[in-house]
Structure 1
Amino acid sequence: MNIFKHTPLTALIFIWVALSNCATENLNFIGEIVATSDSSNELRMHIDFEIDQKSSAYVSYWTETNPDKIFHSQLSQSDRSHHLTLVGLKGGTTYQYQVSVSNVNTSIQSEVEKFTTSKFPINVLHLRWEPEERTGLSGYILSQRRLVNGVIFMIDDDGDVVWYQQIPKQPKLSHWTARHTILVLYGAATHRNSSGDHIVEYDLYGNERFHLNLSELDIPLEAHHEVRFDENNNLLTLVYQHKTFDLSSIGGKQDQSVMGDKIVRMDTAGNVLWEWSVFDYTNPLKDSTILRTAEDWSHSNSLSIDSDGNYLVSFRNFNQVWKVDSKSGKVLWKLGKGGDIEMEPSAQFSGQHAFHVNPEGDYMVFDNGRQNRQTRILTYQIDEANKKATVGLKLQLPENLYSDRMGNAYLMDNDNMLVCAPRTNSLVIMNQKGEILGKAHVGIPDPYRAEFVRSLYPLDHVRD
């Protein structure tokens, strides 16, 4: 019997639409979910699957030994075929995972699957933690091993290496960006320890977002100590500048070459948009040490952006930090020995590195303490109108963490500090009382800097 024989046409149309909508509300996996190891990196895993309708998807994953600590992939946007790469994995570990899929109508989850990662290659990084409890880390540590063919790496809050990227030459420094990528400056071993001619932005999956070879520019540059994005995603870096001076009046040569520093702002194609030279704001002839320091006179070693958008540049050899107007280039103040900011003598620094504004709004500096061989962490509040600095934190590091060069101290989310003490190959987590909560040795050669990374990427798509 045909149950629709005497049904009005409008009712048949309504039934057809309702049945069609019901059909589209159901999502289904087509075939198997496939997990494949990344052939070039043991700490990445690819997850591939197909859905019968366009949908968005992500993967949740956890170790078999700690199922309560759940990680999530980034979101694969609306499509039927999905390819997701999991990062932040430990080597030689079995994971369980589950795929979550959704569209405007409904959502589904797969069965729980599993995979096992290959062992982490020990030759990449010889990481050793001291017996202290590895506590106090609330995210990740990003650092670098500066071998001729080196590596940049990240450590998780368990103290394990969970991410690395091989670098074709010697990585001089690495910097975590607001774009959830890593800027790397690298060069040949023949470059100075902190300088190179390649600036590359890597994403977490090993892809180069851009690659700038400074040696191939119309006017070649040699960058050093710093590379970062400004608010417009232009590059800021320090570059060496050579200029000839007549130093015969003080016992030098008539054509003495003096090496100073420039700040350069450029786009990712290498077009220079703005530059600033230390030579325009101070004269080497007025420096009584110039005959000894001409080959590396000013030695700027960090460049950061103040909360008002102006630049903070550290000059190790001057024992000073300058604030530079990012538009006019005017020097707004000089903090340190012989500067124009009043400060108590005990808060003076020497050979300093990594001057920046911390998340609490204080100026923070790693005082290498070359003058008295005592490395410290210092913070300041600066009254710019009255040119006066008030010291806050004044923490002396243990003698076995003394670093006459390189290094940094950064606040983490939990108010603990991440300290890089390169001369002892140490990455240290400590509280603001100076108590060490964790200390790792990362082998030779020493790292230049270590940064705190709160999270690998946004997770707004993850359902509670």
Structure 2
Amino acid sequence: MGGSQRSSAFNLRPKGRSSLRKGSACALACFAIAAGGCGSSSKTASGPKFQHLVSRPDLRPPSVTIEVASEGAAPGYVFIAPKKAVRQEGPLIVDDRGQVVWFHPLPLGVADFRVQRYRGRPVLTWWQGHSKFGRGRGNYVILDSAYRRVALLRAGNGLAGDEHEFTITPRNTALITFYEGRGDVIDSGFQELDIATGRVLFEWHALGRIALAESYAKRRGKAPFDYFHINSVELGGDGNLLISARNTHAVYEIDRRTGAVLWRLGGRRSTFDMGPGTTFAWQHDARWRSPTTISLFDDGARPQVEKESRALLLHVDLRRRRVTLVHAYTHPKHLLSTSQGNMQVLPDRHVFVGWGAEPWFTELAADGKVVFDGHFIKGADSYRAYKFEWNGHPPGRPTVVAHKSGDGRVTVYASWNGATSVSRWQVHAGATPAEMKPLRTVERAGFETAVELRTDAKFFSVGAIGPSGTEATSGTVASG
């Protein structure tokens, strides 16, 4: 197996199933800033289902509510791709107050939005395309920190790229999943692709290696039988591949050279003795966390076989062929996800869970204490949810809108979609565009900062101020 060659060891914790715990130097102006701030442990008040941004009316992301935001939470932003009951689908980054950092609406469905590394640099990645019956046909996108496209990748050998996995490996290749109809059966598998050329380096099919009898799924009339349903692929430290198949309730180790199944964990033909609390059903997102630790998201539903979904850490004894429970994380609302979901281990060993069909995301300390918890609108979901640090430097200019409200009052709205280093906005105003002068500098207050002024100026612009000074200046607009 080469287990000792896998990634560095994960700090194991005692096993157990735990629930989560819950104006001015010049007499021209005076101002007020509209901010959506919240205390470190207070709830962000719920508002409309969709956000309305004065400076960017073309963006209508779903509102995000933060229920818990502890000072002990890891740094970083939340990465989701809400779909279904939303006005616009697309990759969405929000901060620890639920404020938008970057939103990119698309006419296609989006899944598996996250930060990865390509050629030594952080990039944004996602799948985009059309999905039907939980199987996708689309392609894979890589953007750099300026939100410029680096690559658009497609599955090879005439297959359609599926939504379930897009992982960039340390050798700058991509692991992607596919589904393919074969008579009355749906085959599924994965490819490893060279990102630079699109060449298929390795391809694996379940059909012919995994028997139909291993499936827990039921045939539905004349519909093709989706007996396997692959939903994650990961390259192990020994070069072999770890995959998860929802409909067989099993995780498999695949030999990278021959494609042979080296072992099964879970399911009808498990190679391992499954200890108390380690069995799972309809699971997603199996990952190596150490040479002897695997994480996965145990949906436990559709059809329901468990009371609630769990994010699991499992200790895998490869020599003795035994699996024991390290930790099981559940939500205080006892969420039961009927599809999707993932579990991420953060650099500080906190665990970040996306609850799949349930529109929640949660960060827990290693002992199970909730340190961050949020959700978006009911009826929507995100295939996975992640937390990452990210430095975005969008091209172009900030956006500004100025609205008159009577009695010499003007409200200036400033935003810059995707900019992460802006800490302040400087408002410039003048009777004409040629007479613009700095009027007021204010702290940034979320994606869009509203600055209320008392002034007879007719033209306005804003400058985005970051660590190195003014980073960019908007165009000039007239108040209306």
| TM-score tier (shorter) | 0.5 to 0.7
**261, 268, 277: which is aligned to 1:346?**
277
Does the 8 Å contact 2:112/2:127 carry over to 1? yes
Task: Give unmatched runs, 5+ long, in structure 1.
Answer: 1-62, 66-90, 93-116, 245-256
Letter of the structure 1 residue corresponding to residue 186 of structure 2: M
**Paired position in structure 1 for 2:194:** 267
**276, 279, 284: which is aligned to 2:207?**
279
Give the Cα separation in 2 of the matches to 1:288 and 1:173: 25
Q: Do the aligned partners of residues 231 and 137 (structure 1) sit closer, same or farther apart at CA in structure 2, a change above 3 Å counting?
A: closer
Q: Do the aligned partners of residues 405 and 313 (structure 1) sit closer, same or farther apart at CA in structure 2, a change above 3 Å counting?
A: same
Give the Cα separation in 1 of the matches to 2:152 and 2:179: 20
SS of match in other structure, 2:198: coil
Residue 187 of structure 1 and its aligned partner are, at CA, apart by 0.8
**Paired position in structure 1 for 2:388:** 453
Letter of the structure 2 residue corresponding to residue 262 of structure 1: G
Letter of the structure 2 residue corresponding to residue 206 of structure 1: Y
SS of match in other structure, 2:280: coil
Q: Write out per-residue CA displacement over residues 174-205 of structure 1, whole angstroms, 9 at most, x where no aligned residue.
A: 232123112211113x5444523121111232
Q: Do the aligned partners of residues 359 and 136 (structure 1) sit closer, same or farther apart at CA in structure 2, a change above 3 Å counting?
A: farther
Q: Do the aligned partners of residues 280 and 161 (structure 1) sit closer, same or farther apart at CA in structure 2, a change above 3 Å counting?
A: same
Q: Do the aligned partners of residues 259 and 308 (structure 1) sit closer, same or farther apart at CA in structure 2, a change above 3 Å counting?
A: same
Residue 157 of structure 1 and its aligned partner are, at CA, apart by 4.3
Letter of the structure 1 residue corresponding to residue 75 of structure 2: S
Q: Do the aligned partners of residues 152 and 241 (structure 1) sit closer, same or farther apart at CA in structure 2, a change above 3 Å counting?
A: same
Give the Cα separation in 2 of the matches to 1:307 and 1:286: 28
Give the Cα separation in 1 of the matches to 2:72 and 2:99: 12
- What TM-score, normalized by structure 1, do the two folds share? 0.64
Give the Cα separation in 2 of the matches to 1:150 and 1:448: 12
Residue 405 of structure 1 and its aligned partner are, at CA, apart by 1.4
**Paired position in structure 2 for 1:227:** 166
Task: Give unmatched runs, 5+ long, in structure 2.
Answer: 1-32, 36-50, 393-466, 469-480
Letter of the structure 2 residue corresponding to residue 156 of structure 1: D
SS of match in other structure, 2:357: helix
**Paired position in structure 2 for 1:82:** none
Give the Cα separation in 1 of the matches to 2:318 and 2:73: 34
SS of match in other structure, 1:401: coil
Residue 355 of structure 1 and its aligned partner are, at CA, apart by 1.0
Does the 8 Å contact 2:216/2:248 carry over to 1? no
Give identity over the alignment, percent.
21
Does the 8 Å contact 1:310/1:323 carry over to 2? yes
Q: Write out per-residue CA displacement over residues 341-390 of structure 1, whole angstroms, 9 at most, x where no aligned residue.
A: 12214310111111112379621111112212321122122222332223
Q: Do the aligned partners of residues 218 and 235 (structure 1) sit closer, same or farther apart at CA in structure 2, a change above 3 Å counting?
A: same
**Paired position in structure 1 for 2:252:** 322
Does the 8 Å contact 2:190/2:203 carry over to 1? yes
The structure whose residues are more often helix, as a share, is 1
**Paired position in structure 1 for 2:375:** 441
Q: What RMSD over aligned residues (CA atoms) do the two structures have, in Å?
A: 3.4
Give the Cα separation in 1 of the matches to 2:138 and 2:216: 32
**180, 184, 189: which is aligned to 1:241?**
180
| Structure possessing the higher relative contact order (Cα contacts under 8 Å, 6 or more residues apart) | 2
SS of match in other structure, 1:130: strand
Letter of the structure 1 residue corresponding to residue 208 of structure 2: D
Give the Cα separation in 1 of the matches to 2:292 and 2:367: 19
**Paired position in structure 2 for 1:376:** 310
SS of match in other structure, 2:207: helix
**Paired position in structure 2 for 1:355:** 286
Q: Do the aligned partners of residues 404 and 191 (structure 1) sit closer, same or farther apart at CA in structure 2, a change above 3 Å counting?
A: closer
**Paired position in structure 1 for 2:123:** 181
- What TM-score, normalized by structure 2, do the two folds share? 0.62
